[in-house]
Structure 1
Amino acid sequence: MLKMNKKNSIYAISTMGLLVAMMIVLTNFLSIQTQFLRISFDFIPRAILGMLFGPLWSGISSVVADVVGTTLFGKAGFFIGFTLNALISGVLYGLFFYKKEITLKNTFICVLLNTLIISLFLTPLWLSIMYHVPFFNMGLWIPRIIKAVAMLFIQTGSIMFFGKALPLKMLASRYMAKG
């Protein structure tokens, strides 16, 4: 059984904080954003959180990043639906990557589920609620579908790259000590 010790928990908390800060910066400053569409690379630190800390902490960290980012830099105000999106996305990354080999199949299925659930269902639902736009408005869907198809391959490739390039096993061993 693995047990967290004080030194390891300091490493874990500081790493989570760094990844949360990266999500905030990537979402609010290094993204392309319109009222109905955002292209961002915040999925990279979220996936790394999932790889290192699992679904619970990845989900919680994603919620913290969403709330802090929206509070400090939000352009449209806080909406709980987008926080739910962040939670679901973080949990999915944790379920697919925590203590698992980063394979093309796993990565593609994880990104596909994120795309279908969040990008192509929940986000349009939240936008239609917020802006009183019909859910099946083609103005919402055409750019969203084009973005989803393109990002499916970009996200899969990026997560595969970082999943293989980063010394995740060494980093993960830093946070846990046999007890």
Structure 2
Amino acid sequence: MTKKINAHMITVLGLLIALTVVLSRMFGFETQFIKISFDFVPKIIMGALFGPLWTGVGAVAADTIGMMLFARSPFFPGFTLNAFISGLIYGYFFYRKEVTWKNAILCSLSITIIVSLILTPIWLAIMYNQPLTSVVIWGPRLIKALVMFPIQSILNYVVGRALPLKRLKSYLKTVR
């Protein structure tokens, strides 16, 4: 985690937050019980450049801005907590670490289990007064996990390896 953050870092973080909002709210698919988007791609970059805390903060900012501008459902703070936790996970797996298949898969697995299969069903059960064992909650969630886990793992690896992260990190550190 970077202790001092400069203007260039704030600018890059802001652009990544905006990209997260666009990918999540404009190009994502969302129903009452399921949301599919590629908003995790900018979070990979945030995690690699800024570390767990700033990625979590950026994910919360993106969730809050997206909710204010493009609300599709009622606001629920549990989903904002999900955004923060997913940002922490991306930062943990990609900050100051080489992007490997192991990291990419473990990152996707952690997010799938912790956020998609543990926390989100709890929030949905609370929001819509459904039993936690309801097929309405678990059916779409399990299908999404089976479909998105390999896609997310592959994109974690490809994006992490394709970007010149070392050059970006050194640029952000040297610019004053």
TM range (shorter): over 0.9
Give the TM-score, by structure 2 length.
Answer: 0.95
Segments of 5+ residues of structure 2 without an aligned counterpart are none
The within-5 A match list for 1:100-139 is 100-139=97-136
Q: Who is 1:175 aligned against? A: 172
Q: Who is 2:68 aligned against? A: 71
Q: 1:53 aligns with which of 43, 50, 55?
A: 50
CA pair 167-137 structure 1, distance change in 2 beyond 3 A: same
Give the TM-score, by structure 1 length.
Answer: 0.93
Segments of 5+ residues of structure 1 without an aligned counterpart are none
Query: Shift of the alpha carbon at 1:74?
Result: 1.0
Task: Quote the RMSD (CA, aligned, Å).
Answer: 1.5
Query: Shift of the alpha carbon at 1:155?
Result: 0.4
- Kept after mapping to 2: 8 A contact 1:11/1:174: no
Query: Shift of the alpha carbon at 1:177?
Result: 3.4
CA pair 3-146 structure 1, distance change in 2 beyond 3 A: closer
Amino acid at match of 1:107: A
Query: Shift of the alpha carbon at 1:3?
Result: 7.5
- Kept after mapping to 1: 8 A contact 2:43/2:87: yes
- Kindly provide the CA deviation profile for residues 58-82 of structure 1, in whole angstroms up to 9, marking residues without a partner as x: 0000011111111111111211100
- Kindly provide the CA deviation profile for residues 84-127 of structure 1, in whole angstroms up to 9, marking residues without a partner as x: 00000000100110010000011101110100011111111101
Q: Who is 2:77 aligned against? A: 80
Structure-2 separation of matches of 1:135 and 1:156: 27
Q: 2:157 aligns with which of 145, 157, 160?
A: 160
- Kept after mapping to 2: 8 A contact 1:3/1:177: no
**Misfit runs of 4+, over 6 Å:** none
Query: Shift of the alpha carbon at 1:143?
Result: 1.6
- Kept after mapping to 1: 8 A contact 2:33/2:136: no
Instruction: State the aligned residue count.
Output: 174
CA pair 100-82 structure 1, distance change in 2 beyond 3 A: same
